[in-house]
A and B are shown apart, each in its own frame.
Chain A
């Protein structure tokens, strides 16, 4: 039997028996209330369309919530991105170079966070730009190809609107069914076994 947490149980108790949840605004209002801070892992690949859907919605001004600056302990970026931010060679920063990546130590808060705002706002790396999308989970399809699977935390209105838009898009394009715990199933009852590409 699937194991539901308390918020999922409450959502099932209220919404079991209702069809077409993805188009029910009252359902989404409840999701916002019950699933705040929940990490949602969708059977959807991080395609260009998904990134566009997200980046067009997540427009956080420099003085916004700062969650991305304090949530992570390490911030991974490419060497090019690190150079743009003048990280490499900066004696005040703790970082390590691993292959083509630079990993900046931001435990205790990001060193670029000054007076509650990002001092490198225009140069910040994709991890910060796309927060609260979490690092994609590498998943294998049944044909053994590896895909970056979308996972996102419901952290703020904007992230919630992104998840809602992506789920609605997936339901429409692939004729999927949405359950109250935000699980997606094919309408014939078969699993969404493979990572879908929107």
Chain B
């Protein structure tokens, strides 16, 4: 569920589609899909959709660059909060 929601958000907001070339492991920064504005949009979306906050340490260490890591981090934060 989280994954499909994030896929939909990323594709609609950043105007691309996951396929054989852009997979859930692809670094979306390196591919030129996320820029500074997209990164901020992404963080705001995760915060508002899942009601979670990131600590400064998490922001600096868990840099969200690919779908797989994003989903793992969101699931972890939700589990901790529960």
- Is the pairing of A and B real? no
Give the interface of B toward A (CB within 8 A). none
Give the interface of A toward B (CB within 8 A). none
